[in-house]
Amino acid sequence: MTIKSSQNLVEEALKEVNTISPDEALKKLNDNNCNLIDIRDIRELQKSGKVENSLHIPRGMLEFWMDPTSAYFKEGKIDMKKEIVLFCAGGLRSALGAKSLKEMGFEKVSHIDGGFGAMKNKGFKIT
């Protein structure tokens, strides 16, 4: 039995998903062209703060909250016509999440290179 490392999974995801810079993400957010989704754990938000105008969906619930057939689906929370832009603390979980959403059939999905750590220095308002 061969087990892929988490690093291998992230490397594979990065080859398949669209990675954008914090600057690109801020422009999309300011232009109202995306759903900015924070997939960090709630404890991370409590410790570090929340990005204004972002929606929190914990990584462990992402696929369930985004699936219209799931009992956990968050009706009306996401504008399905807009791009979905994910971020986590550093960009690893968001790459995996973006890959998963692509596999579910979402076409306009990106993740932010460097995650929250990079975003807080690029003009995102932290509350």
Domain extents in the chain: 6-119
Q: pTM of the full predicted structure?
A: 0.94
- In angstroms, rounded to a whole number, what is the distance separating the alpha carbons of residues 50 and 72? 22
Q: Where are the alpha helices (DSSP H) in the chain?
A: 6-16, 22-30, 42-48, 62-66, 92-104, 115-119
- Give residue 35's pLDDT: 97
**What DSSP letter does each residue of 93-107 carry, written as one string?**
HHHHHHHHHHHHT--
pLDDT value of residue 85:
98
Predicted pLDDT at 74: 82
Instruction: Per-residue pLDDT tens, the chain, 127 aa: give them.
Output: 899 999 999 999 999 999 999 999 999 999 999 999 999 999 999 999 999 999 999 999 999 999 999 999 988 888 989 999 999 999 999 999 999 999 999 999 999 999 999 999 899 999 9
The answer as to CATH 3.20.20.70 being correct for domain 6-119 is no
